Amino acid sequence: MQVGTVIKSVNYALGNLNQWMSSKKAKLPIVAFPSTAELVPEPLGLVLIISSWNFPLGLSLEPLIGAISAGNVAVLKPSELAPACSSVLAGNIHTYLDNKAVKVIQGGASVSEQLLQHKWDKIFFTGSAQVGRIVMSAAAKHLTPVTLELGGKCPAVVDSLASSWDREAAIKRILGGKFGACAGQACIAIDYILAEKTYTSTLVEQLKVATKKMFGENPKESYSVARIVNKRHFLRLKNYLDEPMVRASIVYGGSFDEDNLFIEPTILVDPPPTSAIMTEEIFGPLLPVITLSKIEDSIQFIKSRPKALTIYAFTNNETFKKRVISETSSGSVTFNDAVIQYAADTIPFGGTGESGFGKYHGKFSFDNFTHEKAVLSRSFLTDFWFRYPPWNDHKLQLFKSIYRFDYLGILLTMLGFNKS
């Protein structure tokens, strides 16, 4: 899936690059007449890309496409937590790309920290908010611009859809966007569900049935259940479930196998709001369903928490959709599906607030690694005398008229009449 998405993005960039690279004409105010202006894209220079482990090829190569298509040279530091992919990138990129333009440096936090001590023209970071803060502090020393692609808790508001067809599709998309997305170890995986109390029990029953259908009676044997990346993250997730009040809220799953780093796709109903599972990013196959008095309460629930990378809402209620768009803030909003927004080249991908800043994919990737230089070319044909000192009321009056596009005022002032 990652490879296919990257190939699609490369082809999209190749097909559009000529247009992206071309200068864009800009309009100028009348005081600059006659002259021309354009925006000329230029590369930022030397960029550092630090990526996370969970989609190790995609999250390394997608930003690299933007960096090199915009004409930069790049150093890529993939995650040490996906060592096989990191070594594939290090072992192959130099064969296919200009070795003077792209280098891969492997290693963990200490290598990253050393790289961050150098001066870069741009740092593109994908990972946790905690490390994002370290990256931003290091960049500040050199006034280096950064893009932070972070995570957080992506809510999914699930309305009681009227038709059974819609409901069935929604359930599959929710589970695909949670357990199917690397066992929930994805920044845009659904973190938790918000549903109205009149609908929760029906929804939970449907989720249970569909989960069993997708992953079988014994999900440990299923080829479709990804493992947790390492012991540290396994124990982090297990600790969430070990809180007694959280364990009591499990309605499906809940089993695990430490030797195999396996955690069963697990559904919980109303774990305590102050428990770690509801305050930290889950990033694993645990799916809390939170009951609200009415679906509209989800807006306040979401607004009272840090801004998410994506808000999902499964609903056919157009008024409610408009409220989600206008009353909440997040990197993106996706209605009636999950995760699919990542594959689009025509819409930006990125967060806001705690979920990061800066955007990429398609043309947005090119722009992310580009400085748009303003170029203004003035002719010597005319020169307005009122632009220069000594200043007087007459000249001031002319400027005021010009900036108001008040052509009569300009004429009258030029003729010596003071309009004011």
Active-site positions read: 149, 187
Per CB under 6 A, does 131 bind ligand NAD?
yes
Note whether 161 binds ligand NAD by CB under 6 A. no
- Binding pattern to ligand NAD, positions 4-33, x when CB under 6 A? ------------------------------
Nearest position to ligand NAD, beta carbon: 151
Under rule CB under 6 A, residue 127 binds ligand NAD? yes
What mask, x for binding ligand NAD by CB under 6 A, covers residues 281 to 320?
x-x-------------------------x-----------
- Minimum distance, C-beta of residue 106 to ligand NAD, in the bound complex (Å): 10
Among 143-151, 154-162, 217-225, 390-398, the segment contacting ligand NAD (CB under 6 A): 143-151
Residue 273 in contact with ligand NAD, rule: CB under 6 A: no
In the complex, the smallest distance separating the C-beta of residue 135 from ligand NAD, rounded to whole angstroms, is 6
| Contact between 368 and ligand NAD per CB under 6 A | no
Residue 125, Cβ density class (10 Å: 0-12 exposed, 13-18 middle, ≥19 buried): buried
Q: Compare residues 22 and 87 and give the one whose CB is closer to ligand NAD.
A: 87
Q: Which stretch binds ligand NAD (CB under 6 A): 96-104, 124-132, 258-266, 300-308?
A: 124-132
Three-state SS letters, the chain: CHHHHHHHHHHHHHHHHHHHHCCEEECCCHHHCCEEEEEEEEECCEEEEECCCCCCCHHHHHHHHHHHHCCCEEEEECCCCCHHHHHHHHHHHHHHCCCCCEEECCCCHHHHHHHHHCCCCEEEEECCHHHHHHHHHHHHHCCCCEEEECCCCEEEEECCCCCHHHHHHHHHHHHHCCCCCHHHCCCCCEEEEEEEHHHHHHHHHHHHHHHHHHHCCCHHHCCCCCCCCCHHHHHHHHHHHHCHHHHCCEEECCCEEHHHCEECCEEEECCCCCCHHHHCCCCCCEEEEEEECCCCHHHHHHHCCCCEEEEEEECCCHHHHHHHHHHCCEEEEEECCCCHHHHCCCCCECCCHHHEECCECCHHHHHHCEEEEEEEEECCCCCCHHHCCCCCHHHHHHHHHHHCCCHHHHHHHHCCCCCC
By the rule CB under 6 A, 109 interacts with ligand NAD? yes
C-beta of 108: minimal distance to ligand NAD in Å?
Answer: 5
Region binding ligand NAD by CB under 6 A among candidate stretches 3-11, 30-38, 46-54, 313-321 = 46-54
Residue listed under structure tokens 């989600």: 324
Give min distance, CB of 127 to ligand NAD, in A: 3
Site for ligand NAD in 74-103 (CB under 6 A): 77, 79-81
Q: Which stretch binds ligand NAD (CB under 6 A): 30-38, 107-115, 389-397, 399-407?
A: 107-115
Applying CB under 6 A, among 151, 155, 176, 362 the residue interacting with ligand NAD is: 151
62 near ligand NAD, rule: CB under 6 A = no
Q: Which residues bind ligand NAD (CB under 6 A)?
A: 50-54, 59, 77, 79-81, 108-109, 112-113, 116, 126-128, 131, 134, 149-151, 187, 281, 283, 309, 351, 356
